[in-house]
Amino acid sequence: MISKLPKYLAIFSLLWVLIISCSPQHQQSTFANAGPVAQQQSNLYYLMFWIAALIFVLVQGALIFALLNFRRRERPIPGSDFTVPDIPPKQVHGNTKLEIIWTIIPALILIVIAIPTVRTIYQTYQPPEDSDPLEIVAMGHQWWWEFRYPDEGIVTANELFVPTDRPVRITLQSQDVIHSFWVPQVAGKKDTVPGNTNVMWLQVDEPGNYSGQCAEFCGVAHARMRFRVIAEEEADFNTWMEAMKTPPKMDTSEGYGLFLAHCSMCHSIDSYNENSYEKELVIQDERWDDWYFNQEESVRVSAPNLTHLGIRTMIAAGQKDLTKENLITWIKDPSEFKRGTRMQSVASVYKGGPAKLEDYEIEAIADYLLAQIPDGWGVVKSAGEAVEEEEMLVWNSAKEHGEYLFVNQGCAGCHSLNENEVIVGPSMYGLVDRSGDKVSGLSAEEYIYQSIVYPNEYIVDGYPANVMPQIFINLSEEELQVLVSYLITIK
Ligand code: CUA
């Protein structure tokens, strides 16, 4: 008995693991249904489970009955000590009636399962007619999720905001390989397939956070390709949507410049601007093509939109909570949280290793990103918090102001002031002499101004479009004038 103890313990532990893995308390449990689609899928599961359980009991019961009743027995010969073996039972073969019965019964069971299955497939494909679904495009990327709101012109990543009690139609796409969209408590799974569009819908009953997970092996960081569905009451959802269209407070901190210089080629932060939606779609494809067709040399690749990152709850596609400490670790060395990120292998600031930045610079970028909060956001929610006094900057001359903007707005990260030196974009040396005759009818000042505000309007020969961030339109008119006046003095 003692010697069998380890065996029993092992079996018991295994059963225990199996049982607790079904706990509805787990955030990715398919038993804690939070919406009608998950409920329908669950119903189907329970129907099949109980039919299978019934068949199991009947078949095992018949087996046990036969084992006990028809087991081989020795019969005593009356009046002697001898026994004789049981006479073998009558052998039957090819009982037509029985064979018909056990063919029909499974066929009936399959029909009972097939009808609700096919119905559920159709019901979970499109939202109910006469409903007014929110349209979302979910795009799988290695290894993060892009969420687009085409009707609202919003692009975000890894956190899908939805209103409660309203169907959400999700168009599933992929830019690279097959992924699978799965929010266990709400709906799923359905694959995102490159070059093909799938559709599904979901609806969340109660406000809250619902954990999502890529459910198709898609490469090294597949298990870390998570996301979160954040369901809010309609009014709160609308507040979020409006907030996403509101610019943050203009930030001219050092972190802004560093972000523009090192991060902005891949990460957009301006979903609040007019037409930024169409632009983001084009740029995201260009970033991808850039990398895909020249993986050796490309310094950009498709990447999550970071607009208003400060109001998100997680970073690194759901790996960690969004805290300053985590954000710094993430920027410093992404492989701490997630091995295999394209960010680390592609961006020049990493090229496969930790960021080539000083600690204070990384902190400045983190501060800048955490400050990406829509203007006015959280005023009601955190009314008790002290508002930091804004530092007033004073300039001794327009040139000093221009110089400050040039550095702190990030221009200096890509444009050198030295003759013929190329960092990313053209040098600013002698700009005024080259600008006057670029476009007929435009003075040098006008040409420079246009090029800052609309970077793709006039592209200098030999430089690609869409590399310069299209966000300087948010500078004030005065700042733009100061910057132009400064730039024409560089020679
Ligand atoms: Cu994407 Cu697994």
pLDDT tens digits along 373-384: 888 776 544 434
pLDDT of amino acid 386: 43
173-177 contacts at long range (C-beta below 8 A, 24 or more positions apart) = 173/137, 173/138, 173/139, 173/140, 173/197, 174/139, 174/140, 174/141, 175/139, 175/140, 175/141, 175/284, 175/285, 175/288, 175/302, 176/140, 176/141, 176/142, 176/218, 176/288, 177/140, 177/142, 177/218, 177/219
pLDDT tops 70 at residue 221:
yes
Q: What is the mean pLDDT of the chain?
A: 86
Residue 144 alpha carbon to ligand 1 centre in Å: 8
Q: Is residue 214 in contact with ligand 1, taking CB distance under 6 Å?
A: yes
| Nearest ligand 1 atom, CA 216 | 2
* Ligand 1 pocket check for 221: Cβ under 6 Å: no
- Is residue 144 over pLDDT 90? yes
What is the mean pLDDT of the segment spanning 442-470? Answer: 80
In this prediction, residue 418 carries a pLDDT of 85
How do residues 162-211 score in pLDDT, each as one tens digit?
Answer: 999 999 999 999 999 999 999 999 987 899 999 999 999 999 999 999 99
Q: Is 412 in the pocket of ligand 1 (CB under 6 A)?
A: no
Question: Atom 1, ligand 1: which residue's CA is nearest?
Answer: 179
Residues 326-347: tens digit of each pLDDT:
999 999 999 988 888 888 988 8
CA 138–ligand 1 middle distance (angstroms): 13
Q: Higher-confidence residue: 1 or 470? A: 470
DSSP one-letter string for 293-329:
H-TTT---------TTGGG-SEETTTTEE--HHHHHH
Residue 100 has pLDDT above 90, yes or no: yes
- Pocket of ligand 1 contains residue 140 by CB under 6 Å: yes
**Rounded distance from Cα 204 to ligand 1 centre (Å):** 23
Distance 174 CA to ligand 1 centre (A): 10
Tokens of 166: 């309203």
Q: Which pLDDT value is given to residue 157?
A: 93
Ligand 1 centroid, distance to 378 Cα (angstroms): 34
Over residues 13-20, the mean pLDDT reads 81
Lowest mean pLDDT among 84-98, 137-151, 181-195, 286-300: 84-98
Helices (H), 148-247: 234-244
Its pTM stands at 0.74
334 C-alpha to ligand 1 centroid (Å): 18
